[in-house]
Chains A and B, each alone.
Chain A
Amino acid sequence: MKRIYLSLITAIALIGSVYADRLVIKGSDTLGAKLVPQLAEQFKAGHSGTTFDIAAEGSTTGIAAIIDGTAQIGMSSRRAKSSEVGAASAKGINMKPTVVAYDGIGVIVNANNPIKSLTKKQVEQIFTGDIADWSAVGGSGGKISIYTRNTSSGTYSEFKELAMKKRDYASGSQKMAGNEQIAAEVGKNPAGIGYVGMAYTKAGGVKVVSIDGAVPSVKSVQDHSYPYWRPTFYYTNGDPSGLAKEFLDFTLSSAGQKIVAQVGFVPIK
């Protein structure tokens, strides 16, 4: 009997030590596709034995993971909704946001599209379907093809809030799994338009249009003069501790923020 107890205690200790060096991060594709994996690689260089489990399936999944306790850090490209905060609060979870980087959501069109700039009103009209032909905004004509993120994406809802007065997307819009897919589709389709995080605006075959004369840049996002800027977050259950705190501190450090800039996001300082 004693042996059984001893084996159990040993197993629990082993599992605990393994979990202690493993960081589970879930959430935003915007953050999780490039930025966080590169931060993780750099972090591991100074923390041998640390492993990361990163799942980038949209901000909604990251916030849900904090609420149900299946991740230590939830990546999000939007603020938690009041319904999510309420659900967390009911379970005794304290959703704590930490701003880790800024992002500008760039509106992209095919590189061959003559359009160079749009107004905020035109962007709203295009993505809601009020305007369906490029000729209505000074283009060379043809039906506009709209590419958006899927509904679990933080960028999907953030763009509705920033650019569309919370109205619904046009019924014919095509929903893509990530920024790269949107950039790829717009790059192939001369009539395409979409939006991507700043890190993806330099994809081949696309170009960024200015919005009311402003383009997404480090300066315009940091001084908030570009209209479609947004903070991006790590969500934790209260103040982070242990490995999660170390990784968060690393992200906010000058070394971490240097990676933020290298990947195409805007550092917070």
Chain B
Amino acid sequence: MFKRVIYFMAAASFILGGVAAQAQDAGALLDLLVRKKLISDQEAEEVRSELTKQFTETPAGKWKMSTPITELEIYGDARLRYEYRGGETAGNVSQPNDWLERSRERYRLRIGLRGTLADDWFFGVRLETSQSNRSTNVTFGDDTSTTSGSTTTINGPFAKNSDGINVGQAYLGYKGFRDITLTGGKMPNPLVTTLMVWDADINPEGVAEQWKHTFTLNFGQSGLAQAEQSYSKDNKALAISKPASEPWSLKIDVFANFAQFVYDNTNPDNPVGPQKTTDGRLNPRIDAWMMAWQVGARFNFPKNYYFQVAPVLYNYAGNGDTFNVHFVGGDPSLSNSASLATNQSGINSLLFLEVPAEFGFKIGELPVRIFSDFAVNFNADDRARAAGFPDEGDQRYAFMIGAGIGQLKAKGDWQIQAWYQYTDQYAVDPNLVDSDIWDSRVNMKGVAVTGGYAISDAVIFNLTWGYAWRVDKRLGTGGTGDIGINPLDDYQIFQADLNVRF
């Protein structure tokens, strides 16, 4: 009878404790009961054996995990989207003031696996729909036919030509040194940044080194500040007990992120025969690298106030074999097709500083954030000159400022964000900017609003709207976007998303 009670207790811990933790929980309980001499080793073994048998019959029990894995998480999301985006030609080109519009129904799927390994290593893999670096969307019905040369193949409705699965992330890292995280591979962006500079879908490739340390300053009644330090390998601050008499404390997360990304690999490095040329210039044979150096701090004040600033300097080394032609970014004096045919992706003369910042607080339980970003390209004069617009070197700045209220963590939550964004033609890298807001373009300014509501803990409904104008009428709107117009005089986007996250 007693054994049945023990079995029931162990089984309860087995079931209520969750599948992953049950074996250890039940084992610890049985060990304790044996040590207390409440049951014998034999009785414990019989219960343990029965629990193991039951566990192997559950879905989780059929999974086998290799020993070095200490923690594993499956995560991802699926999204249905309706999108409208449209752009208007300028008034002085062929087909003046004409709108090109695209209306699409799309989906995306991202499934990830990330985990920790023994000895402070970690890894992550994520599979994504779409091959694009700045999108994971697949458009319904866009693959009914495919054309190769002069041959068109009818794939039929509901074809699968666009529905591929691609490796979006594949990285490994090490957290064995105090405060330091080292990562290599195709990784989530390690930098603190905004859509003004980096599309959120981009997973850069290369290596990154991150350091983070938390300082806590306790201001006592005497007015003297005491500095306390804490650190955590998983970047979670450790709680430090404080004397009750202290009125408030300031916690400062100081961090530094360094990255060396392989932007474009040239292969072969030494081809047979003479070196190739483009427009009479020898093509470089060296890889293109993007370097980033970021230092920042987040000041956490009492009563949920915080301020974060994280300047980052970007530089490019080498040219690669894809981005080695000088950036032009369109030309209003040309026809639309000729303007589009100018180089939209060159990475010459880009040495720019980005300064993202954020201030946050709470109104009741409602989080509020005011955010901004600023960028300046120190080599904009050279970039403008190479583009054929030597007088436009002052087009070197980009900035955004906005505010948001609310959050989307649990069922019933809501969030609204609005911002103004301005980007000069030569300010930032047009290959990295967000592909939705301003259609992957630079030399644009405008406003955007997003609103979301959590229908359940896992399902979120989102609406996004944005409208933008060309900044400098003497220049094109550089970048390779979905709207086949350059210069893009006006631009509008609307998206309705239903997201399921897991």
Contact = CB atoms under 8 A, between A and B. Distances in A.
Given A98-B42, A166-B67, A268-B41, A79 B62 contact: no
A29 B48 CA distance: 24
Given A95-B53, A97-B49, A86 B42 contact: no
Q: Is the interface on chain A under 10, 10 to 19, 20 to 34, or 35 or more residues? A: 20 to 34
A82 B49 contact: no
Given A166-B67, A167-B118, A82 B56 contact: yes
Contacts of B49: 79-80, 85, 95-97
Given A79-B45, A268-B41, A85 B56 contact: yes
Interface in B1-53: 23, 34-35, 41-42, 45-46, 48-49, 52-53
A184 B273 CA distance: 66
B390 interface: no
B62 A86 contact: yes
Question: What is the interface of chain B mostly: helix, strand, loop, or mixed?
Answer: helix
B61 interface: yes
A86 B49 CA distance: 11
Interface in B53-99: 53, 55-57, 61-62, 64, 67-68
A96 B56 CA distance: 15
A99 B34 CA distance: 14
Contact of B41 (A86, A95, A168, A231): A231
Given A97-B46, A99-B42, A89 B35 contact: no
Interface in B253-308: none
Contacts of A86: 53, 56-57, 61-62
Question: What is the interface of chain A mostly: helix, strand, loop, or mixed?
Answer: mixed
Contacts of B35: 224
Nearest to A88: B53
Contacts of B45: 79, 97-99, 231, 233
B280 to A, nearest CB: 57
Contacts of B55: 82
A102 B67 CA distance: 26
B51 to A, nearest CB: 10
A80 B52 contact: yes
Interface string A139-168: 000000000000000000000000001111
Interface of B: 23, 34-35, 41-42, 45-46, 48-49, 52-53, 55-57, 61-62, 64, 67-68, 118-119
Interface of A: 79-80, 82-83, 85-86, 89, 94-99, 102, 165-168, 224, 231, 233, 268
5 contacts: A86-B53, A96-B49, A166-B118, A168-B68, A231-B41
Given A82-B56, A99-B41, A231-B41, 6 more contacts: A85-B49, A85-B56, A166-B67, A166-B118, A168-B67, A233-B45
